[in-house]
Structure 1
Amino acid sequence: MPTPIAIRPATAADIPTIATLADIIWRQHYPAIISMAQIDYMLAQRYNLAALQHQISGPDQWLDLALAGDQVVGFAQYYYNAPGEMKLDKLYLLPDLHGQGLGSQLLQHVVAQAQARQCTTLILAVNKHNAKAIAAYTRNGFTVRDSVTVDIGHGYLMDDFVMVKNIG
């Protein structure tokens, strides 16, 4: 049985920790999937002070931290996507902790939060070449609903599967 993690909402004081954690995780996990230039671009775009402040305080969206003891080891960010549908936008865990069930615990927390808000569907987008994450989401009951390519600027594309789980 995996060691339980504590999960709590992020606050403005946590923003530097979230940005640092994202930087560590992305630079360890994504070089085999996307270029370092795209990693730099996406980190700057999605983990700057204003973006993170909006993600923790914007309407109908949440960012929660996963803690092992007093150390922040991961986070999940999610928001209302459509009536009855929550989108998991970010779920990250330090790579050294993969395979211990901690990511599944964080994912189950998001499912519970979505259900508490009367959502019956949870969706997410995952890079088509991120086999490790796709396998983890599949183990947790997600299936591929769509294939999308999104231009995110500066010549970069996100080539993703949209995965879905019925949580109703």
Structure 2
Amino acid sequence: MNVLITPVSVADVDSLVALARQVWQRTYPGIISQEQIDYMLAQRYGRDRLLAELEDPGIWWDKATVDGCLAAFSSCIAVAGGSEMKLDKLYVDPLRQHGGIGGRLIEEVERHARAADCRTLILAVNKRNEPAIAAYRRYGFVVRDSVCVDIGHGFVMDDFIMSKSLPPAAASL
């Protein structure tokens, strides 16, 4: 399998929106309500929002393609005054999961983090998304905190904050 990791472009936005919907519809029923799924997709994956984020130099978006077809994508942003990089989004086509593509995108996020002098990589994951939690553990993440965040319209994100310490860039060579 030939996986290519490249930055996301404006031309990719519609494909990202479709892949996000596909992953959410496969992952979140039974974890959160369909109403919350629809609300969060509209809030976080509207075309205009993604286009705006692509223009923001402080947000990195990458995609993984296999044989020229979108297989996964990620985004990350420096937080905590620049000392941490947040893996904000990581979605892999359900038909391509368990093949290491997510891990390749995590490695790319780690490169962005080191380039930005971030010492820690963090992410938020729903407490009931056990497959994702297990996958993040395999890549060295540990649960750092437990949060419940009101996101409006009567919905909350009941998440674990997971973190992974990053060695300095020179130590990673």
Residue 40 of structure 1 deviates from its aligned partner by 0.6
TM-score, length-scaled by structure 1: 0.95
Q: How many residue pairs align between the two structures? A: 166
Inter-partner Cα distance in structure 1 for 2:61 and 2:161: 20
Inter-partner Cα distance in structure 1 for 2:49 and 2:60: 13
TM-score, length-scaled by structure 2: 0.92
Which residue number corresponds to residue 110 of structure 2?
Answer: 111
RMSD: 1.1
After the TM superposition, which residues 130-141 of structure 1 pair with which residues of structure 2 at under 5 Å, given as runs?
A: 130-141=129-140
Inter-partner Cα distance in structure 2 for 1:91 and 1:75: 6
After the TM superposition, which residues 5-154 of structure 1 pair with which residues of structure 2 at under 5 Å, given as runs?
A: 5-82=3-80, 83-154=82-153
Residue 11 of structure 1 deviates from its aligned partner by 1.3
How many percent identity over aligned positions?
48
Inter-partner Cα distance in structure 2 for 1:29 and 1:161: 16
Does the CA contact (< 8 Å) of 1:55 and 1:77 recur in 2? no
5+ residue gaps, structure 2, are 168-173
Inter-partner Cα distance in structure 1 for 2:74 and 2:84: 16
Residue 28 of structure 1 deviates from its aligned partner by 1.2
- After superposing on structure 2, the runs of 4+ consecutive aligned residues of structure 1 that deviate more than 4 Å are none
5+ residue gaps, structure 1, are none
Counterpart residue type for residue 156 of structure 1: F
Partner of 1:79, secondary structure, is strand
